[in-house]
Amino acid sequence: MREETAPMDIKDSIVLVTGGNRGIGQAFVRAFLAAGATKVYVGARDPASAAHLVAEAPDRVTALRLDVSDPETISAAAAQCPDVTILVNNAGAFTMQTLMGAPDMSAARQEMEVNYFGPLAMSRAFAPILARAPKSAIVNVLSAGGLVAVPSMGGYSPSKFAARAMTTCLRAELAPQNTHVLALNVGSVDTRMASHVEGFKEAPATIAQAGLKALKREADEVDTDFMAIDVRAHLARDPKGLELAMRRALTSDRVSTGR
């Protein structure tokens, strides 16, 4: 095991953000730039969709083609980004299909592929790169749906449960190389993925700032916003009651959508 080092300084870090072209990923890109990161790689299935971020800081932002469900693009990204010190696994998929209501299992498989196997594949590909830095980190952007099972979310919720467990396992495996692994549990955020959700939604920038603060203090797991904190509290206070509330929400959703 390496000797203990000082806490990682985000200033002068080199960051890769998956799904960094919009939403929470875009907010992370801007937050890292504001915090003094030397370089930020923006991973997106279509690099052209990140052109606006490159234009904001052309000497510090690089867009690259990256699909976390495609091993070839992951390998290419690792070859193109040999200097990364912080990996933010943000890319996600939500198909808005329930487990039993979907016509087949393709939606659930896609959610597991992107939300669980994607971050795992990225972590495996970049762990040797992160090991070169005296201090490095992986940030996994998860969900309150990984704290409590949400039937209306179908395969998304189980995939986030799996990703949360994987984060804990990676934290143990990568500790000897001084790579810290952080879990961020996110509630309702004002992004395209949550466009169907009614009520208050946090700004993506709020999530990014919570992530950077957690990273600086090397927290293991952080609930980033009011909804995630509230879910955690309800889970501790009355887990069965919360389960039943999620069941009622599924029934309500079916009535409102006619499913």
What are the tens digits of pLDDT across the range 149-176? 999 999 999 999 999 999 999 999 999 9
With a cut of 90, say whether residue 99 has pLDDT above it: yes
- What residues form DSSP beta bridges with 137? 86, 180
The end-to-end CA distance of the chain, in Å, is 55
Distance, CA of 213 to CA of 113 (rounded, Å): 29
Closest CA to 37 of 18, 16, 53, 20: 16
Residue 156 is among the residues annotated as catalytic for this protein: yes
**Structural domain harbouring 21:** 14-250
Residue 130 exposed, middle or buried by CB count within 10 Å (0-12, 13-18, 19+): buried
With a cut of 50, say whether residue 255 has pLDDT above it: no
Concatenated DSSP letters of 38-92: SEEEEEESSGGGGHHHHHHSTTTEEEEE--TT-HHHHHHHHHH-TT-SEEEE---
Helix (H, G, I), strand (E, B) or coil at 243: helix
Catalytic, out of 160, 213, 216, 240 = 160
- The answer to whether position 127 is within a domain reads yes
Any idea which residue has 């009651």 for tokens?
Answer: 241
Distance, CA of 133 to CA of 119 (rounded, Å): 20
- The answer to whether position 4 is within a domain reads no
Where are the alpha helices (H) located in the chain, listed in sequence order? Answer: 23-34, 51-56, 71-80, 106-112, 118-130, 156-174, 204-216, 226-237, 239-257
What would the two tokens of residue 12 be?
A: 């002068």
Distance, CA of 78 to CA of 73 (rounded, Å): 9
What would the two tokens of residue 129 be?
A: 């790169």
- The answer to whether position 6 is within a domain reads no
Average pLDDT, whole number, for the chain?
Answer: 91
Residue 213 is among the residues annotated as catalytic for this protein: no
Distance, CA of 106 to CA of 122 (rounded, Å): 22
pLDDT in tens, 210-227: 999 999 999 999 999 999
With a cut of 50, say whether residue 258 has pLDDT above it: no
Catalytic, out of 39, 41, 116, 156 = 156
Domain count, the chain: 1
pLDDT at position 36 is 97
- The answer to whether position 236 is within a domain reads yes
Distance, CA of 255 to CA of 247 (rounded, Å): 13
- The answer to whether position 144 is within a domain reads yes
Q: Which whole number is the average pLDDT over 59-81?
A: 98
Counting residues of the chain whose pLDDT is more than 70, the rounded percentage is 90
With a cut of 90, say whether residue 202 has pLDDT above it: no
With a cut of 80, say whether residue 31 has pLDDT above it: yes
Distance, CA of 169 to CA of 174 (rounded, Å): 9
- The answer to whether position 111 is within a domain reads yes
Q: Which whole number is the average pLDDT over 12-34?
A: 97
- The answer to whether position 5 is within a domain reads no
Q: What is the CATH number of the domain that holds 240?
A: 3.40.50.720
Higher pLDDT, 7 or 197: 7
- The answer to whether position 256 is within a domain reads no
